[in-house]
Amino acid sequence: MANDTVTVCEVGPRDGLQMARDILPTEVKLRWIRQLAQAGLREIEVGSFVSPERVPQMADTAAVVRGALAIEGLTVCALAGNLRGVVAAHAAGAHVVAIPISVSDTHSRANVNKGTDAQIEMVRSAVDWVRAQARPMRIDVAAATAFGCSMEGQVPLQRVVDVAAALAATGADTIALADTVGYANPAQVRATVRAVRAAVGPRLSKLHLHDTMGMGLANALAGLDEGIRAFDSCLGGLGGCPFAPGASGNIVTEDLVFMLANMGHATGIRHAALVAARQLLADALPGETLRGATAVAVLPRSFAG
């Protein structure tokens, strides 16, 4: 249904930068985040509380979170892979903590050195800890590798449903399905969203899609058709998982916003401002390739986004 609101969460400062060859200085990250917010993005994943030895690009996340909190109207999200990271996100003042739980046990061990079941129990402990704090913090969990794994190959649908149901039972606020390595196809997205929603209801709210096989926007459209109204994306299509061989970038924020606007969905995001923000990335990360069609195309005269 058109004319309804779709939430786009920009994950570039986290997912987009964690694979970058160069490390952006904190002040450059914050300048980029401010540009994104000025373009109309109201939720941005600004970093991750993970080991700086494994992901040095994220070593300054606490400072980035604190700086981003000064941006009026912005929901500041940070990723965490364990309870220590959740506590650090709360201490820094994050409004939202996102916790990825891999459906693929092999990927889970490569990513966080723990199996899937142990990670689900960690989420339960994290939820209990956050609920005991005076300041609330939203807890978003993502079923990663929900559409396939470069290590295990096909991930059975029932396994995805079981993991999602277990995550719902922890008391987390929302659940996302993540195509971590970009193997999904639209039919699979439709079937998986339907099956997971039957198990967890409206708690399933978001898709996190990658464009490894060039089907990212087609998969987003399939999710829209199934009622999904929240998506992660990245300016310039940067990103990927350093612990999932073959994973490439996220779906391109500029292209996603263009598609949504042309379909009549409200995002509150100005496409032209997104395109302008690409220059900062191009200057700061000269070794990275920025992807996306609508940033370089001649847009239709009828497009007013």
Q: If we measure between CA atoms, which residue out of 92, 73, 83 comes closest to residue 26? A: 92
**Residue ranges covered by each domain of the chain:** 7-284
**Res 301: pLDDT:** 76
pLDDT at residue 298 is higher than 90: no
Q: How many CB atoms lie within 10 A of CB 272?
A: 12
pLDDT of residue 21: 87
Of 151-155, 162-166, 270-274, 278-282, the range with the lowest mean pLDDT is: 151-155
The answer on pLDDT for 244 being more than 80 is no
Average pLDDT of the residues in 229-238:
96
pLDDT, average across residues 185-189:
98
pLDDT at residue number 243 = 56
Choose, from 9, 149, 234, 241, the residue flagged as catalytic: 241
Residue range 55-59: mean pLDDT, rounded: 95
Examine the residue annotation and report whether 77 is marked as an active-site residue of this protein.
no
Q: Are 99 and 80 in contact (CB under 8 A)?
A: yes
Binned at pLDDT 50, 70 and 90, residue 305 comes out as confident
Q: Which residue has the tokens 């994050």?
A: 94
CB contact set of 237 (below 8 Å; sequence gap of 6+): 211, 249, 250, 251, 252, 290, 291, 292
User: pLDDT class for 230, splitting at 50, 70, 90?
Assistant: very high
Q: Which residues pair with 208 in a beta bridge?
A: 178, 232
How far apart are alpha carbons 68 and 213 in whole angstroms?
33
What pLDDT was estimated at residue 150?
A: 83
Residue 63 burial (CB < 10 Å; 0-12/13-18/19+)?
Answer: middle
Contacts of 54 (CB under 8 A, 6+ apart): 242
Q: How many CB atoms lie within 10 A of CB 29?
A: 25
Q: What is the pLDDT of residue 247?
A: 59
Which string of DSSP letters, residue by residue, matches 13-80? IIIITTT-SSPPPHHHHHHHHHHHHHTT--EEEEEEES-TTT-GGGTTHHHHHHHHTTSTTPEEEEEE
Mean pLDDT, rounded, for 251-279: 96
Convert the pLDDT of each residue in 190-226 to its tens digit: 999 999 999 999 999 999 999 999 999 999 999 999 9
Coil, helix or strand at residue 297: coil
- Tell me: pLDDT of 137 over 70: yes
| Predicted pLDDT at 208 | 97
As a whole number, mean pLDDT of residues 25-48 equals: 98
Q: Give the global pTM.
A: 0.95
Q: What is the pLDDT of residue 140?
A: 98
- Counting residues of the chain whose pLDDT is more than 90, the rounded percentage is 83
Which CATH number is 7-284 given?
3.20.20.70
Whole-number pLDDT of residue 241: 63
Q: Give the integer Cα–Cα distance in Å for 100 and 110.
A: 13
Q: Residue 100: beta bridge partners?
A: 142
Phi/psi for 153 (5° steps) reads 85, -135
Taking alpha carbons only, the member of 250, 249, 200, 190 closest to residue 225 is 190
